[in-house]
Amino acid sequence: MANPGGGAVCNGNLHNHEKQSNGSQSGNCRRNGMTKEAQQNGKPHFYKPIVETFEEAPLYVMVFTYLGYALGTLFGHFRDFLRKWGIEKCNAAVEREEQKDFVPLYLDFENFFKRNIYMRIRDNWNRPICSAPGPRFDVMERVSDDYNWTFRFTGRIIKDVINMGSYNFLGSAGRYDESMRTVKDVLEAYGTGVASTRQEMGTLDKHKELEDLVAKFLNVEAAMVFGMGFATNSMNIPALVGKGCLILSDELNHTSLVLGARLSGATIRIFKHNNIENLEKLLREAVIYGQPRTHRAWKKILILVEGIYSMEGSIVHLPQIVALKNKYKAYLYIDEAHSIGAVGATGRGVVEFFGMDPRDVDVLMGTFTKSFGSSGGYIAGRKDLVDYLRVNSHSSVYATSMSPPISEQIIRSIKVLMGMDGTTQGLQRVQQLAKNTRYFRQRLREMGFIVYGNEESPVVPLLLYMPGKVAAFARHLLQRKIGVVVVGFPATPLAEARARFCVSAAHTREDLDTVLEALDELGDLLQLKYSRHRKSPRPELYNETSCELDD
């Protein structure tokens, strides 16, 4: 796969000189019945058609889901009653005798859901593993003797479980091998800790190297790295906006973005998920009517969106949002935690995915946990933005900087991704991920499951709805040696519990087929195939070539 799709790879940037397969140099090209405009000088200006679905479940499913929760609540009240009167033994930890007359630390009803519904199925989360989180890992077996109140480890290890839960998009995570030699060297030379902040004595030459490389990778002027992805949002948004500014935040934004917005002190308004009309309406109102009560103009307007939303699998409608932002002179902040490395022809995120210029986005933020097999976050953009953050970010003044071997791992991964190590391995992984994603999603749709999100997003949510099925799904799959992540309330709406698969470039076709087979059987057993758009159930008719990348 040295020359995929007719493009040439130079320095990790994909230059598509001739996109047309019929050889004409300009004008439109027709392929598969779709007309696309030709590229001029390597700058694509067509807008990718966005294919995403959020199918609604049939009514009986919603009825049964709510019924299930109602039953659980009823039993919960009954059991609370029994525990209060001492008929049933209470296994939860209790307050100290000496502090019994203090105001209670937790309100009973705040913990109701945790005590009575979460506790029954909590063996599906926090599963400890004891190997690297590669495409297959080892899960430690644990059992509970008292209905999930406490766990004990049997000592046995479930080996070679297929990992569909960890964020390992490009397969960068894994056991040590010779390619990680530089990480070992840096660890031996520098040690693990830094023990100082960026502004005091904590800026190492490794950090400078990393920041220059990140800026080069993203094709922007400058970048700054931080030790934790979550903290990158919660500590830098308050540095950018403050009182008198307006934040327009997507409905489904991650907790770190919400926390950063709240800590900044700015006014926050929420727009419906990916809904451009709603966003435009809010923008118009903001510019025309100004601040509430005083009607003074807003100082700045910042739009907070994510590249890929982790619970929905949807991709942000970037071109339309950039058009809006330019029209109303707002600023755009994108959190590419799940999309950097995972989408785009060379893995440079949603900006490349839509063929746009990184200068269209004011603040590019991302994390290194998912595609680079490390930890930490970055913010990139124009030089004056990054300089401002170097002086005013909470993290550069008060928080310890990134550990040296962690930085080296990111440097190594980016070099591989950009092709700077002399191989095309990085590009191959990006393309393998895209292939795996399309294959997996297409097969799931064919089987009749309801799958949310954009066709090209490697985060695949499969809807389960009912709380009982959530538990059964995860447990059955673990028995078949497949590790999946299931999510319910409060991370998702109450009635939309789901299983979330993370496709990885390291998964082979056989791995995916094993998983799909198990899902097929389990889907019939648990009656999960709710979709009303069933395609042909015969996999032999599946067309291999339609999985190739669109150019």
Partner 1 sequence: MRKEEKEELIEEWQPEPLVPPISKDHPALNYNIVSGPPSHNIVVNGKECINFASFNFLGLLDNPRLKAAALASLKKYGVGTCGPRGFYGTFDVHLDLEDRLAKFMKTEEAIIYSYGFATIASAIPAYSKRGDIVFVDKAACFAIQKGLQASRSDIKLFKHNDMADLERLLKEQEIEDQKNPRKARVTRRFIVAEGLYMNTGAICPLPELVKLKYKYKARIFLEESLSFGVLGEHGRGVTEHYGINIDDIDLISANMENSLASVGGFCCGRSFVIDHQRLSGQGYCFSASLPPLLAAAAIEALNIMEENPGIFAVLKEKCEQIHKALQGISGLKVVGKSFSPAFHLQLEKSTGSRERDVKLLQEIVSQCMNRSIALTQARYLEKEEKCLPPPSIRVVVTVEQTEEELEKAASTIKEVAQAILL
Q: Which tokens go with 390?
A: 């170097």
Residues 6+ apart with CB under 8 A from 44: 16, 355
Q: Which residue, 455, 426, 425, is CA-closest to 442?
A: 455
**394 classed as catalytic:** no
Rounded to whole angstroms, how far apart are CA atoms 456 and 435?
Answer: 9
Are 267 and 285 a contacting pair, CB within 8 Å? Answer: no
> Which helix H or strand E contains 3, and what residues bound it?
none
Q: How far apart are CA 410 and CA 419, in angstroms?
A: 14
Give the range of 9-17, 39-47, 91-99, 526-534 binding partner 1 by CB under 8 A: 91-99
Of residues 242 and 493, the one with the C-beta less far from partner 1: 242
Stretch that binds partner 1, among 61-69, 197-205, 458-466, 542-550 (CB under 8 A): 197-205
Smallest Cα–Cα separation from 462: which of 452, 475, 454, 472?
452
- For partner 1, the binding residues in 251-270 under the rule CB under 8 A are 254-256, 259, 262-263
294 to 323: interface string for partner 1, x by CB under 8 A: ---xxxxx----------------------
Choose between 98 and 540: whose C-beta lies nearer to partner 1. 98
Indicate if 370 belongs to the active site. yes
The site for partner 1, by CB under 8 A, has a size of: 121
Token pair for 138: 């080892």
The residue within the footprint of partner 1, chosen from 172, 437, 454, 457 (CB under 8 A), is 172
Does 374 participate in binding partner 1 (rule CB under 8 A)?
yes
In the complex, minimum distance from the CB of residue 37 to partner 1, in angstroms, rounded to a whole number: 30
Q: In degrees, to the nearest 5, what angle opens at C-alpha 200 toward C-alphas 194 and 204?
A: 45
Among 89, 96, 152, 295, binds partner 1 (CB under 8 A): 96
Residue with tokens 């109303």: 328
Stretch that binds partner 1, among 43-51, 120-128, 451-459, 462-470 (CB under 8 A): 120-128
Cβ proximity to partner 1, 198 vs 429, nearer residue: 198
Determine phi and psi for 454, rounding to 5 degrees.
-75, 145
Q: 81 exposed, middle or buried (CB, 10 Å; 0-12, 13-18, 19+)?
A: exposed
Q: Which lies closer to partner 1 via its Cβ, residue 29 or residue 241?
A: 241
Residues 389-428 within binding reach of partner 1 (CB under 8 A): 389-392, 394-400, 403-406, 409
120 makes contact with partner 1 (CB under 8 A): no
The distance of closest approach from Cβ of residue 184 to partner 1 in the complex, given in angstroms and rounded to an integer, is: 6
Between 168 and 431, CB nearer to partner 1: 168
Closest approach of partner 1 to the CB of residue 269, in Å: 16
Beta-carbon contacts of 459 under 8 Å, excluding residues fewer than 6 positions away, are 308, 310, 313, 338, 453, 500, 501, 502
For the bound state, the minimum distance from the C-beta of residue 422 to partner 1, rounded and expressed in Å, comes to 22
**Sole binder of partner 1 in the list 22, 35, 41, 126 (CB under 8 A):** 126
If the CB atoms of residues 387 and 548 are measured against partner 1, the closer one turns out to be 387
Per CB under 8 A, the segment of 99-107, 461-469, 509-517, 538-546 that binds partner 1 is 99-107
Could you say whether residue 228 binds partner 1 (CB under 8 A)? yes
Which residue in 103, 295, 422, 538 binds partner 1 (CB under 8 A)? 103
Catalytic residue among 166, 234, 264, 310: 310
Contact flags string 21-60 toward partner 1, x per CB under 8 A: ----------------------------------------
**How far is it, in rounded angstroms, from Cα 34 to Cα 551?**
12
Q: Which two tokens stand for residue 256?
A: 């770190």
Distances in whole angstroms, Cα of residue 211 to Cα of each of 163, 295, 369, 398: 31, 41, 16, 19
Residue 151 interacts with partner 1 (CB under 8 A): yes or no: no
Give min distance, CB of 328 to partner 1, in A.
7
As a residue count, the chain comes to 551
Report the half-sphere exposure of 490 (CA within 13 A, side-chain side): 7
153-154-155 Cα angle (round to 5): 90
Q: Give yes or no for residue 366 binding partner 1 (CB under 8 A).
A: no
- Spot the catalytic one: 317, 370, 469, 507: 370
Name the segment binding partner 1 (CB under 8 A); options: 20-28, 100-108, 474-482, 539-547: 100-108
Alpha helix (H) ranges present in 265-393? Answer: 276-289, 318-328, 350-353, 383-392
Site for partner 1 in 430-489 (CB under 8 A): 483, 485
Task: Show the DSSP H helices in 99-200 as ranges.
Answer: 112-113, 181-190
**Residue 310 catalytic?**
yes
* Phi, psi dihedrals of residue 268, rounded to the nearest 5°: -115, 130
x-or-dash pattern for partner 1, window 318-357, by CB under 8 A?
---------xxxxx--------------------------
Minimal distance in Å, beta carbon 325 to partner 1? 11
Nearer to partner 1, 70 or 201 (CB): 201
Give the CA diameter of the chain.
85
Cα gap 72→59, rounded to integer Å: 20
d(CA 154, CA 352) in angstroms, rounded, equals 48
Q: Which residues are catalytic?
A: 310, 338, 370
